[in-house]
Amino acid sequence: MDGDSVRRKNLNLFLTPNMAASEAVLAGTWTQRVHRLQKEAHVFYLVFKHPRTPWYARLVAACAAGYVFSPIQLIPNFIPVIGSLDDILVLFVGSRVLQKTTPDDVLVECRELAEAAQMRRKEKTTGAASVVFPVVIVTLWILTAITVSALMATYIYR
């Protein structure tokens, strides 16, 4: 298989038939988009850690992640819309460059590993922890609210 056909196959993993690439970005609900973004982030992490990834591809991944997590940026994140747009642009350009500089077989292998890890996560979240964790959080929130209310009442009536 040549490089273009492998890249088309990788792109088709995220597309349904008769769907253009621009429509794939907009398709689905927000949760589906978030899951797709999480999977892509995991793929790029696996590509970064893969021993056959060239150094320049690792440099691209490290620079893109470093910019996103850096407190010093060209457009600060506290500016409502524009602050996040530059991060999205850096991630988009970084992902495209990383896809072009990474060998195709490494990219396919990392996508398969990310898919397997996603399936394992789905199986784990259906367990008891997915029921117990929200109950614990709600209980702690109620106890905190009662404690704060009691402290405020004591302070006011003093």
104 or 18, which is more confident: 104
- Give φ, ψ of 79 to 5 degrees: -75, 125
| CA 58 – CA 128 distance, rounded (Å) | 38
Q: 130: which 2 tokens? A: 């997915």
pTM: 0.54
Give 31's pLDDT tier (boundaries 50, 70, 90). confident
Give the closest residue to 45 by CA, choosing from 119, 118, 110: 110
Q: What are the tens digits of pLDDT across the range 101-140?
A: 999 999 899 989 989 988 887 776 666 666 788 888 999 9
Q: Tokens 């990474």: give the residue.
A: 102
Contact between 47 and 53 (Cβ < 8 Å): yes
Can you give the pLDDT at residue 158?
78
Contact between 3 and 104 (Cβ < 8 Å): yes
Share of the chain above pLDDT 70, in %: 77
Residue 157 has pLDDT above 80, yes or no: yes
Give the closest residue to 90 by CA, choosing from 67, 123, 69: 67
For the segment 54-64, the average pLDDT, to the nearest whole number, is 90
CA distances from 118 to 16, 29, 99, 111, 125 (A): 19, 18, 20, 10, 11
Can you give the pLDDT at residue 90?
85
| CA 93 – CA 60 distance, rounded (Å) | 10
Q: Tokens 């470093």: give the residue.
A: 66
